[in-house]
Structure 1
């Protein structure tokens, strides 16, 4: 039995990463970062128990969530979770502080690489599978950041001002779907929501997360997100992190004054104890070797690489003289910065060597007598003439450029979507010298390519695909792997086309005036041309869609069936996307919304029939007038395609529901 004061102590961390052990009465859990690989902090102590140093234990660098989403594969998301859980077990981490499902409202958000998509369906389905993968190994997860935390600048105090419909349709559904996997914990965000801190927001935490969405696990604060611990406890935050004696004393005083009851303390305490029991009562076993984890990282990376552009079948490379350049060709960025950055112990092989190994004797690597890096330094400037000379000798130039953890990171947002000037200048200079120029792009979010996209032959999006990224890139470049990745965010023509360019740092609030028109929903509604649409990704083969059939299964339930045929000469995978359009609505609705997707493997010449179910919510919008989901009677269109703007098949249906069945209360 615990005393009241011991219960109070249990509601706050013991230090930065651990829960209280109450003088040895309870096991102490270790909570650890790691959405793209475990970031386990290891402490070293002196003979008196004082911390003398700390470091991050080396781990397998898995693809960031942005790259994981390009696979469109719940199966691979689950595998990703299993790998990271394996290292949690090996390094004694009990709860993994992942995944993050915040929506990519603006491509400038510094943490976009840590999130899945601008679309809630993609984010929710992949996060659900990731959680299932981690927790299948008896390691806990923390679904974050609840909620509407979509920028890094001023995240700790800027209030998100959002209407109910936008919250329900865009920012909540990813959490809803991920919660189906029953994550052991949910992490509340830093920001106020409509003026009330997320950590003190009774409507968001108790009424929405607990009562409506049915979450029964532990709610943990983001680190430092609690401003008033008594209010946080009353709102439903079970565990405040990290340790702060001041806040603990405030809770003690609030209890003494009767402002916080023992019943409220018990409620939170019971959830902490339940989490301890979950972590301690289950068998945990390391199942993968380091090599097997790397193999899993490579398998995921293979499907995360996206072929964005491929003029005149520049790729796959067929041999000849090939010149590979750029600092990332030697050591690629494995992810963005901040709490997700993994200490990777993998020894990278240069991209040029990997390409040469794949092509064998039919390939000759061209070299430059100089050194060029993607950073701004004098050595790079001096090397440029040698690089241009090498480019002119080559049949094809491959240039590895992009961002890294210094320019895409937690805690700050980007100020531009463009690459730095040195990299843009290098692309333009090489495009003049090279017969064919292939750009390999490392980034966790959309890039403005307007300065150079028309000057290059091909663009391969490497993303932040983890430690196996260059192996996967080499295999795609040489045709050893047929690319199957597709982007999960829109690439606009220029950064000037972005509706939410940057968060206004001069005011203490951010109004979500864009409403439900986020990402491709915005570009489609306003009929804006884009560079690469949501869901886009090229292949070395071709796919034909045919024989669409939409069968009514109930008043608002339908089965959508169609054939997909690989009409090319290469085996490949296709991501089939199903969108729904309300053709005549009384409210502003997106032109089309993704409602289902399926990735299918097809051998050359093979045909498979795909069947997908659609239900009430797939046709509904959230009516603030009725505080419920609402389906308007009338015509809808079912669209099947290879991207949001590459629609191959469509069929119209007419939905007519009795008035009493047009509305459903939130479940």
Structure 2
């Protein structure tokens, strides 16, 4: 029972407002063995906390960091986010997002650090993971795999042969594996007609055997369709519709599931916690009371601004336009000028404590003698 309990989320209907349900994803502690709770939270742009808004930093998006082409900056980005997760009592960050931007109208492209380039994603995934995990927080590579559109994502089948997957879609995730990432999240979609979270070819063969991934695979929230442990799934979130005592014990009795497979899943979960340093911390480190902490600081705000600036690419400085001279008349064109877009929606959204619009920034840089409108 203790092993099975480590492989799924809580009964959300029964735990109310408590440690068991405090974070976006939760696995109860096993006090007898000294195993702390697993406390997971969104997302790939920083700590999302809708109950305590403006208490964490809205870091640049993954796509913005991809535009920096800067491995050191991406490490600093990961470390900055990881520290705030740690300070909020979370030991799993549900990020980085690593999918390719293959569909221009995908509303979640902002989350992904790969941009359109598999090699760029491979290169930047490594410092992102290392930065996050340097703060004793397990990184989560998502969404595995071929989750490149939001339209009909819960049932669409992405068709791709092995060569296409390995050359185009896998490299960012391979980078995460090489960096020692502790966890993966399988996606809602099907791959060649089989749901991602029960696909033995992509989970068991490609990810765990071929790539040598040592950590665990969790479902996206509600993305399970069967117990799927033999196929390569290790954990169900956010509850336990499929991975529960009833189905697991029935599988053992029927011979469709073995205890060795359960042991493998639990070992992978524990490996992630030991390798990153979660197990080195006292239990109080992962106390849900820390959710109320305001973890954004003047230092983190300055760092977020520095990293955001690195994502801005000047294509051509014709005629020495920059730096701006005093006394100019400057037009700031576009709705985003006076209405700053600081984050995307959904699991990638983080409400910042303060916002400076591009218009305000240009006015400050241009000086009092300029006319900016």
Shorter chain as normaliser: what TM range?
0.7 to 0.9
The 3-state SS of whatever aligns with 2:217 is: strand
What whole-Å deviation, never above 9, does each CA across 1:106-161 have from its counterpart, x for those lacking one?
A: 21112111113111111111111111111112111011111111111111111111
| Mapping 1:326-365, distance limit 5 Å | 327-346=335-354, 348-365=355-372
Tell me how far 1:310 sits from its aligned partner.
6.4
Cα distance in structure 1, aligned partners of 2:231 and 2:242 = 19
The 3-state SS of whatever aligns with 1:18 is: strand
Q: Find the counterpart in structure 1 of residue 231 from structure 2.
A: 235
RMSD, aligned α-carbons: 2.6
1:11 aligns with 2:7: yes
Cα distance in structure 2, aligned partners of 1:8 and 1:56 = 34
What whole-Å deviation, never above 9, does each CA across 1:341-384 have from its counterpart, x for those lacking one?
A: 002112x345444333323243134xxxxxxxxxxxxxxxxxxx
Cα distance in structure 1, aligned partners of 2:243 and 2:273 = 23
Q: Find the counterpart in structure 2 of residue 321 from structure 1.
A: 329
Cα distance in structure 2, aligned partners of 1:350 and 1:185 = 36
**Is 2:214–2:271's contact at 8 Å kept on the other side of the alignment?**
no
The 3-state SS of whatever aligns with 1:270 is: helix
Q: Find the counterpart in structure 1 of residue 200 from structure 2.
A: 202
Cα distance in structure 1, aligned partners of 2:352 and 2:296 = 15
Q: Aligned pair in 2 of structure 1 residues 325, 196: CA closer, same or farther (>3 Å)?
A: closer
**What TM-score comes out, normalization by structure 1 length?**
0.49
Relative to its length, the structure with more helix (as a share) is 2
| Mapping 1:117-196, distance limit 5 Å | 117-196=115-194
| Mapping 1:70-469, distance limit 5 Å | 70-116=67-113, 117-229=115-227, 232-245=228-241, 247-248=243-244, 249-277=246-274, 278-282=277-281, 290-307=297-314, 316-318=323-325, 319-324=327-332, 327-346=335-354, 348-365=355-372
Tell me how far 1:236 sits from its aligned partner.
1.8
Cα distance in structure 1, aligned partners of 2:231 and 2:54 = 35
Is 54-63 or 76-85 further displaced after alignment? Answer: 54-63
**What TM-score comes out, normalization by structure 2 length?**
0.84
What whole-Å deviation, never above 9, does each CA across 1:152-195 have from its counterpart, x for those lacking one?
A: 11111111111222112111122112221110111112211111
Q: May I ask how many residue pairs the two structures share in their alignment?
A: 346
Q: Aligned pair in 2 of structure 1 residues 271, 164: CA closer, same or farther (>3 Å)?
A: closer
Cα distance in structure 2, aligned partners of 1:306 and 1:261 = 53
Relative to its length, the structure with more strand (as a share) is 1
Cα distance in structure 2, aligned partners of 1:225 and 1:350 = 38
Cα distance in structure 2, aligned partners of 1:151 and 1:22 = 38
Q: Aligned pair in 2 of structure 1 residues 323, 162: CA closer, same or farther (>3 Å)?
A: closer
The 3-state SS of whatever aligns with 2:168 is: helix
**Is 1:31–1:95's contact at 8 Å kept on the other side of the alignment?**
yes
Q: Aligned pair in 2 of structure 1 residues 353, 172: CA closer, same or farther (>3 Å)?
A: closer
Structure showing greater relative contact order (alpha-carbon pairs closer than 8 Å, 6 or more residues apart): 2
The 3-state SS of whatever aligns with 2:45 is: coil
Cα distance in structure 1, aligned partners of 2:353 and 2:342 = 11
